[in-house]
């Protein structure tokens, strides 16, 4: 898949597998972002939220670094 960079590393939990660049979000930021999105969109599954996050990343030239958590949450909410 073209949006995955060579520097991407697998990040997985029990509910999904996604590729997150190590420079994209640290685990603490990712956790905060997921919590925020789950509060805003309780109807959305974790997988659906991650898919939307990946779409935001693709739409932003394959990176999330440089965007604030609020900006990422807003862009993800539009997709959800």
Whether residue 58 lies inside any domain: the answer is: yes
| pTM, to two decimals | 0.64
Q: What is the pLDDT of residue 26?
A: 61
- Assigned domain for 73 exists: yes
Going by C-beta distance under 8 Å and a sequence separation of 6 or more, which residues neighbour residue 66?
A: none
pLDDT at site 40: 94
What is the domain extent for residue 64?
Answer: 45-79
* Residue 30 included in any domain: no
Q: Chunked in runs of 10, what are the mean pLDDT values of the chain (80 residues)?
A: 43 44 64 92 94 94 88 94
Question: What domain count does the chain have?
Answer: 1
In a domain, 17, yes or no: no
| Residue at 67 is within a domain | yes
Q: Pairing state of beta strands 17-20 and 9-12? A: antiparallel
pLDDT at site 14: 38
Pairwise CA distance, residues 30 & 53, whole Å: 10
């Amino acid at each position: 898949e073209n949006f995955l960079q060579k520097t991407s590393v697998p990040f997985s939990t029990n509910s999904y597998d996604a590729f997150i660049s190590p420079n994209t979000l640290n685990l603490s930021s990712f956790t905060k972002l997921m919590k925020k999105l789950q509060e805003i969109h309780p109807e959305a599954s974790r997988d659906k939220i991650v898919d939307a996050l990946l779409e935001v990343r693709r739409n932003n030239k394959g990176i999330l670094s440089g965007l604030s958590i609020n900006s990422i949450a807003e862009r993800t909410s539009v997709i959800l």
